[in-house]
Amino acid sequence: MTSGQDHPDEKLIADYSPYREEILAEQVKQIYALAPIGFIATFFNSVIVFFLMKDVMEFRLLVLWGVTLLSITALRLGLVLRFRNVKQHLNFAATWRRRFVVSLFIAGAAWGWIGFFPFGEITIAHQVFIAFVLGGMTAGASSTFSMIKEGYAVFSIPALTPLAIHFFLMKDVFHCAMGTMLVLFGVLLWRISIHNYRVNRTSLLLRFENKGMIERLKQAKERVEGLNDRLSAEVEAKHRAEADLRAHHDQLERAVTERTADLTTLNKELEQFAYVASHDLQEPLRMVISYLQLLKQKYHGQLDEKADMYIGFAVDGGIRMQRLIEGLLSYSRLSRGAEFTRVDINGIFAAAVANLAGVIEESGAEVTRAHLPTVIGDELQLQQLLQNLISNGLKYRKPERRPTVHVSAERQGEEWLFSVRDNGIGIDPNHFDKIFQIFQRLHTSEEYPGTGIGLALCQKIIERHGGAIWVESTFGEGSTFSFTIPVHGASGASSHMDSS
């Protein structure tokens, strides 16, 4: 998709012009409301860069750069405060938008200035660190500044271009590769920011159109009340009023049906966007990780200890991001699962245990089951569900205690109730709801590795199967994750217990 083509979201609505000024005013409010996030990121990142680079860059230049960047940030903060204190009007939205874009360009140029600094004593690790900092700032800009179409470009182009040019001018393979990655990364983020801008604009249009619909509904209600007042006076007026009411009712039903279809289409496109964005991010991320691993293997021991440590941190961070993206892809695919069939949960249990054999052997765990039923569902998703819950019981174990996990099931009316019980570290009751939210974790990755997606996947799988999932736990003693699946399933066929 190119920027010159119509976006699928825009085809849902024929004309933006009736609400153009209102949409612009709301976009300006949003961009000024989100600006402090960028100020905070600028402050902390600039301080970190200063302290990490002060021993390898010319100190006077670095101080001048830091003071300039923080001064620009202070001026931009003043612009935001002034915007908040001034009474806003639709006629001034374009002026405030223009001021913000100019300040954004200046901020991007200030960040990009560091890319012109000489690399005399700067190690490759420090150069990679600068590239990661600038890449991180532009990644944040792709969402924070996407409310205005050119917001990302006016910040990222002056921020990334100097360093990319510097890399290319060094004319060796490594630096040319780094420059190429910076350019590709910037282009990818630009595509994402354009999509975010279009989705935001369409969402605002729907909001303003819904306000207009509410006003029309109020007017229709007033007309109906007027017709009802005249019903007692004249029978013919009553018939006309009834006909008018039916016409309005049909019109409203059509409008609601059309709006529901629009929203359904938008939701599907947002889900598709999450899938495509996660999928497209994998290739450049794999390239970054590969080059970092190559850098680590080829130059390990040739640089100072801090450089080796920084490269190690970068490799670990890239691998964690790759796992997170893989989790996002799995999450986005759930709604497109296979058709439901009869699934023997005993076989699902055996497959899950086989996949976790390495972890079970390493931890000395005991994983057992009671007799499990056959249900109606998606075999691969049910295996993923059971494997995630068993894996959780093994991961969050107490070091001094042999881990045990037991899976059981019983029929309760028209549902099968499954339980996965472990003797791990347990969960604070205050966090029961939080653990099923995507990206929510109760522990750091250093304590227990993970992405914060596993239990959210479990909940989405169970919702697709028409059931519910919850946890019961005593902190320090273990947890029991329970979930239900309807006996008759989505296909209407009855589940049963195996005779074997």
Q: Average pLDDT across each block of 10 residues of the chain; the chain has 500 residues. List them in order.
A: 43 58 82 87 89 86 91 91 77 84 90 84 83 86 82 88 88 87 88 84 77 72 72 74 82 79 64 59 65 71 72 64 58 66 92 88 90 91 88 82 92 92 81 66 50 76 88 84 86 40
Q: Is the Cβ–Cβ distance between 392 and 454 less than 8 Å?
A: yes
pLDDT at 200: 79
Domains of the chain: 8-206+274-330 (no CATH), 337-497 (3.30.565.10)
Q: What's the pLDDT tens digit per position in 106-128? A: 988 999 899 888 876 678 888 88
Q: Helices then strands (H, E): number in the chain?
A: 13, 8
DSSP lists the bridge partners of residue 53 as none
Identify the H or E element spanning 294.
helix 235-299
Q: Which amino acid is at 167?
A: F
Q: Is the Cβ–Cβ distance between 479 and 422 less than 8 Å?
A: yes
Q: Sheet harboring 341-344: ordered strands across?
A: 341-344, 373-377, 496-497
Kindly write down the DSSP assignment for every residue of 244-257, as one continuous string.
Answer: HHHHHHHHHHHHHH
Torsions phi, psi for 484 (to 5 deg): -120, 150
In angstroms, the Cα distances linking 165 to 24, 171, 264 are 35, 10, 45
pLDDT at 369: 93
Kindly write down the DSSP assignment for every residue of 63-96, as one continuous string.
Answer: HHHHHHHHHHHHHHHHHHHHHHHSPP-GGGHHHH
Report the alpha-carbon distance of residue 431 to residue 475 in Å, rounded. Answer: 11
Residues contacting 326, CB < 8 A, separation 6+:
282
pLDDT at 451: 55
Q: Is the Cβ–Cβ distance between 409 and 419 less than 8 Å?
A: yes
pLDDT at 96: 87
Q: Residue 111: which of 148, 146, 142, 154 has the closest Cα?
A: 154
Report the alpha-carbon distance of residue 453 to residue 441 in Å, rounded. Answer: 9
pLDDT at 419: 93
Q: Which amino acid is at 94?
A: A
Report the alpha-carbon distance of residue 318 to residue 311 in Å, rounded. Answer: 11
pLDDT at 289: 65
Lookup: tokens for 94: 């374009």
In angstroms, the Cα distances linking 384 to 188, 325, 459, 495 are 31, 17, 11, 20
Report the alpha-carbon distance of residue 336 to residue 271 in Å, rounded. Answer: 11
Sign, CA dihedral 313-326-462-440, equals positive
Give Cα 34 to chain centroid, integer Å.
17
Q: What's the pLDDT tens digit per position in 370-405? A: 999 999 998 888 988 898 899 888 887 887 888 999
Give Cα 137 to chain centroid, integer Å.
17
Q: What angle do CA 119, 120, 121 make, to 5 degrees?
A: 100
Report the alpha-carbon distance of residue 38 to residue 139 in Å, rounded. Answer: 11
- Quick one: residue 409, left, alpha or beta (phi over 0 = left, psi -120 to 50 = alpha)? beta
Report the alpha-carbon distance of residue 144 to residue 148 in Å, rounded. Answer: 10
User: How many C-alpha atoms does 325 have within 13 Å on its Cβ side?
Assistant: 17
Residues contacting 497, CB < 8 A, separation 6+:
371, 373, 374
